[in-house]
């Protein structure tokens, strides 16, 4: 029976080792080895060699095949002092990896040589718990969650659509939520606008929204714009570095204004609209797909386009559509899945049906087309009233 020292000596005699200098040369070569850090999570968090993949020693056997499917590719493995990595190298050899090398002296020696290290932004334990269900999804994971925490989403309206969208985006840990809404909470809002409560009646919606969202998740910084979006303020508000805009406006002039500004500011818009039992949602991503004007070049005359205030809306409908908008926003922020670019989703709550139609980019679109004829803000009220514009 061998003690630890004897076992280590025995293992080291079986494997290949390099010192920090040689390791660095390998890593800077034209065909660098696959670099694996087998230390514990807390050691990794304090700093590691740039480009390394973290697979703790205890998970090495189960995870290495997915991380390094090609057994012919050289692997360089390291730990803090070159002991755990020696055992790891032997294990990898037993698993059929042809060319495995251990970094003698480990990360400690690497640092002592003054070679580059990297400290990843990492979630603290409290956030690991809060976002644990995200961390378990490979498509999100820690990297995705950190991305969300650094993301900025602007919501047009904190009403029926904006309420569920804002709640889910805040819960998901989107770092900054901007909300543009000039209204105060009215009793008739509470049938569907779940961001606001009875005690908030008469309170500006941006204030009750901020209180609700920060109570839900203190990680979220809520920026309220208690103003109506206009041609005069849109550049100031849109110019604050938003990654995604969630459009839940209630009128056509704002819809067209949001569209034109988002094309010029190059920010994707997640569109949602609702009426009675039916809702629509799609994504307008400048450069990648159509814009709102490609879909609807002209709004219908007001008598053919009653608002929810006039025609009513089932309270849960904005809950469905606003949640779909949050879903699309998260996909855009994370860069995952198939965003609804060029696809308009139609939801019919009464029929219980979800349909989809194609939305194509219009090469003659006056705003996002090949030869745009609208290049600055117009009078949107006039445009939507059907008045011919010079």
Partner 1 sequence: MSVVRIPPTLRDDTRGQREVIAEGDTVRDLLDDLMTRFPSLEGKLEFANVYVDGEDVRTRDGYDTAVEPGDTVILLPAMAGGSAAESAVHFPRK
**Binding residues for partner 1 (CB under 8 A):** 156-162, 181, 183, 186, 188-189, 193, 228, 230-232, 247-255, 272-278, 280, 295-296, 298-302, 304-311, 313, 318, 344, 346, 348, 350-351, 355-360, 362, 377, 379-382, 384
Q: Name 176's Cβ contacts closer than 8 Å, sequence gap at least 6.
A: 151, 152, 153, 220, 221, 222, 223
- Token pair 């493995």 is at which residue? 77
Cα–Cα distance measured from residue 389 to residue 49, given in angstroms and rounded to the nearest whole number: 61
- CA pair distance 34, 31, nearest whole angstrom: 9
Q: Give the pair of three-digit tokens for residue 239.
A: 């110019």
Residue 208, judged by CB atoms within 10 A of its CB (0-12, 13-18, 19+), counts as buried
Alpha-helical regions (H) of the chain: 4-14, 20-28, 41-45, 60-67, 84-94, 106-112, 125-130, 132-135, 141-149, 162-171, 205-216, 234-238, 252-265, 292-295, 308-311, 316-334, 380-384
Closer to partner 1 by Cβ: residue 35 or 295: 295
Task: Using the minimum distance from each CB to partner 1, give the nearer residue, 145 or 259.
Answer: 259
Kindly state the smallest distance separating residue 361's Cβ from partner 1, in Å.
10
State in Å, rounded, how far the first CA of the chain is from the last one: 94
Contact 248, 205 (CB under 8 A): no
The single-letter DSSP state of residue 58 is G
Strand 269-275 and strand 278-284: the pairing is antiparallel
User: Least distance to partner 1 from the beta carbon of 375, Å?
Assistant: 16
Q: How far is the CB of 310 from partner 1 (least distance, A)?
A: 8
User: From the CB of 165, what's the least distance to partner 1, in Å?
Assistant: 10
Comparing CB distances to partner 1, the nearer of 30 and 304 is: 304
Min. distance of Cβ 215 from partner 1 in angstroms?
Answer: 21
Residue whose CB is less far from partner 1, 73 or 276: 276
CB of 338 to partner 1, least distance (A): 16
Nearer to partner 1, 3 or 188 (CB): 188
Tokens of residue 74, six digits: 């050289």
Minimum separation from the CB atom of position 274 to partner 1 (A)? 5
Q: Which is nearer to partner 1, 27 or 305 (CB)?
A: 305
Instruction: Give me 259's structure tokens.
Output: 């569209």
Phi–psi pair at 303, nearest 5 degrees: -70, -20
* Residue 217 or 280 having the CB closest to partner 1: 280
Question: Which residue, 49 or 384, is less far from partner 1 as judged by CB?
Answer: 384
Beta carbon nearer to partner 1, 55 or 274? 274
Residue 315 CA to residue 313 CA, distance in Å, equals 6
Minimum CB separation from partner 1 for residue 350, in Å?
8
Of 361, 170, 206, the closest CA to residue 284 belongs to 361
Q: How far is the CB of 144 from partner 1 (least distance, A)?
A: 28
């Amino acid at each position: 029976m061998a003690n630890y020292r004897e076992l280590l000596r025995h293992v080291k005699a079986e494997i290949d080792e390099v010192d920090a200098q040689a390791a660095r040369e390998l890593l800077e070569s034209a065909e660098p080895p696959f670099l694996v850090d087998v230390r514990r999570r807390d050691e990794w968090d304090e700093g590691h060699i740039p480009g390394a993949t973290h697979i703790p020693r205890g998970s090495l056997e189960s995870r290495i095949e997915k991380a390094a499917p090609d057994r012919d590719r050289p692997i360089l493995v390291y730990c803090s002092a070159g002991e755990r990595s020696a055992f790891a190298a032997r294990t990898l050899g037993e698993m059929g990896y042809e060319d495995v090398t251990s970094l003698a002296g480990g990360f400690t020696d690497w640092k002592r040589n003054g070679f580059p290290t990297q400290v990843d932004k990492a979630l603290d334990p409290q956030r690991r718990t809060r976002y644990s269900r995200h961390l378990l999804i490979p498509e999100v994971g820690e990297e995705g969650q950190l991305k969300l925490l650094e993301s900025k989403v602007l919501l047009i309206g904190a009403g029926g659509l904006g309420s569920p969208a804002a709640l889910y985006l805040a819960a998901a840990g989107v770092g900054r939520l901007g909300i543009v809404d000039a209204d105060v909470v009215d009793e008739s809002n509470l049938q569907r606008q779940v961001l606001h409560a009875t005690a908030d009646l008469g309170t500006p919606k941006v204030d009750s929204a901020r209180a609700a969202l920060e109570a839900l998740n203190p990680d979220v910084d809520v920026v309220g714009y208690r103003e109506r979006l206009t041609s005069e303020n849109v550049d100031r508000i849109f110019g604050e570095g938003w990654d995604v805009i969630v459009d839940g406006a209630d009128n056509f002039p704002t819809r067209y204004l949001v569209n034109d500004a988002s094309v010029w500011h190059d920010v994707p818009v997640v569109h949602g609209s609702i009426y009675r039992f039916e809702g629509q949602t799609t994504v307008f991503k400048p450069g990648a797909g159509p814009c709102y004007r490609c879909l609807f070049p002209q709004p219908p005359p007001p008598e053919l386009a009653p608002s929810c205030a006039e025609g009513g809306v089932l309270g849960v409908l904005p809950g469905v559509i606003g949640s779909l908008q949050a879903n699309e926003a998260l996909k855009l922020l994370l860069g995952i899945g198939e965003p609804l670019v060029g696809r308009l989703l139609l939801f019919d709550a009464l029929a219980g049906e979800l349909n989809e139609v194609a939305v194509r980019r219009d090469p003659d679109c006056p705003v996002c087309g090949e030869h745009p004829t609208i290049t600055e803000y117009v009078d949107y009220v006039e445009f939507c009233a059907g008045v011919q514009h010079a």
